[in-house]
A and B are shown apart, each in its own frame.
Chain A
Amino acid sequence: MKESAASIASATVAIFLTGWIIIAHDLSPDFKQSLASLTGNHWISVSVIAIVLFILSLELLIGFKSARRFLRVYDISLWSTSLVAVTLIMVLGILAVLITQFLSH
């Protein structure tokens, strides 16, 4: 059961951090360029980072009992609600940034 909620918590963390990376690379051309230089294309870099973040946070949560306890990873309801909320907020946040950029051009 601890692993069950751990994967949802890891997805939440990965989406939250990836969302902020996407927003940052939309706002900063230099950051976008540095992401592109990692793999040749910024989209591939963001994709790889998202997967790495998911796997890393999953391993951390499975490996450390204290981290699971601190983040209340046993609570599947809490983390599924968090995953839905974080995903929707990140989608709306990225949309808001893109609309603002389009209108300001």
Chain B
Amino acid sequence: MAYENWIGHALIAIISLSLVVYVVTTGAMLRGRIKRSSGNIFKLHKKYGIYFGSFILGSFIYGLWIRLQHGESILLSVHGRLGLVILLIVALQVIPGLTLKNRATYRGLHKIMGYALAPILIIDASWGLYNGVIAGTKNLVLFHSISGGLAALFLTWIILEIRYPTQRSLSRARVASYVTVFLVTAGCWIAGGYNYLTSYGFQVKPLILEGPYPWVHEIVMELKEHIFVFLPIIALALSVTLSTLDGDIFLDDTKSRRALTMIAYLALFMVLLMFLMGAVISNAGQTGAEALK
């Protein structure tokens, strides 16, 4: 896949990811799961839902066009199949929402599909990122990147629960933090570390060092491998804090919630930084391999 084409598809997907977080947040506000912010939430939910649907449709058509340019069927890849599933879910979310007069009967299914959409989108985006950057997908690296993507989603969930608290927000934030610790530790740290120790040094590192961007290994990879150690500690601290925090303090003490939000933002920043550095490293490995051909 041509790099320029792939990057356009990825940009649309990133915008879609931001939009889905906003749509899920406003949906959760409408259902009372998190505290409402000011403004007409229903109108915003509907408006951004339509924007999100349009971006998903655009991203799918763009992906389809790129695949067709190479004479390949979109349904041959898992990324393409997941893309189709996402498109179908979005159609089932948006079209009845706009056409049905009595939405009460449809609300339960709408909610389930809405919450399912975000993790499916994250998995598909991570899958697509590594398909685009690494050409051939390696299962361990894929698991590593999907875990990172899902951890980012769970951290966003924690931030929303803390920022818009209701009676049950703390218990949900606790569950989300346990999943985050698992994803960051098992998926990102251990799987990533195993790949680094068993594969990276022998297969990717020589290609980067011989290629046009040796600084990617010397600076970016070295930095990533070291500061990665900080991430499980931050996630663990956040999880322990949420587990031991008193429910009344969580609801009434703005200062404590602000402190927790800061830590969750820090963890999210670290996850996104790792994601960005991972993409740069993978891309430099591929460029190095092409340069040595």
Contact = CB atoms under 8 A, between A and B. Distances in A.
Query: Are chains A and B native binding partners rather than an unrelated pairing?
Result: yes
- B interface majority secondary structure: helix
Contacts of B240: 3-4, 7, 58
Given A4-B241, A46-B226, A87-B266, A80 B259 contact: yes
Contact of A94 (B197, B215, B223, B259): B223
B280 to A, nearest CB: 14
Interface in B111-170: none
- A interface majority secondary structure: helix
Given A7-B240, A94-B223, A102-B215, A77 B230 contact: no
B260 interface: yes
Interface stretch (B38-46, B59-67, B94-102, B244-252): B244-252
Contact of B262 (A14, A19, A44, A84): A84
A99 B229 contact: no
Given A43-B225, A80-B260, A98 B233 contact: no
Interface in B190-239: 193, 196-197, 215, 218-219, 222-223, 225-227, 229-230, 232-234, 236-237
A22 B226 contact: yes
A47 to B, nearest CB: 5
A31 B240 CA distance: 33
B215 to A, nearest CB: 6
Contacts of B218: 98, 101-102, 105
B230 A15 contact: yes
Contacts of A71: none
B179 interface: no
A87 B232 CA distance: 12
A77 B237 contact: no
Contact of B227 (A77, A80, A90, A101): A90
B74 interface: no
Interface string A24-56: 001000000000000001011011001100100
Contacts of B255: 76-77
Nearest to A86: B230
Given A80-B259, A83-B266, A98 B222 contact: yes
Nearest to B273: A91
A39 B169 CA distance: 42
Contact of B237 (A8, A22, A98, A101): A8
Interface of B: 189, 193, 196-197, 215, 218-219, 222-223, 225-227, 229-230, 232-234, 236-237, 240-241, 244-246, 249, 255-256, 258-260, 262-263, 266, 270
Given A77-B258, A87-B230, A91-B227, 7 more contacts: A4-B245, A43-B193, A51-B233, A76-B259, A84-B263, A87-B266, A99-B219
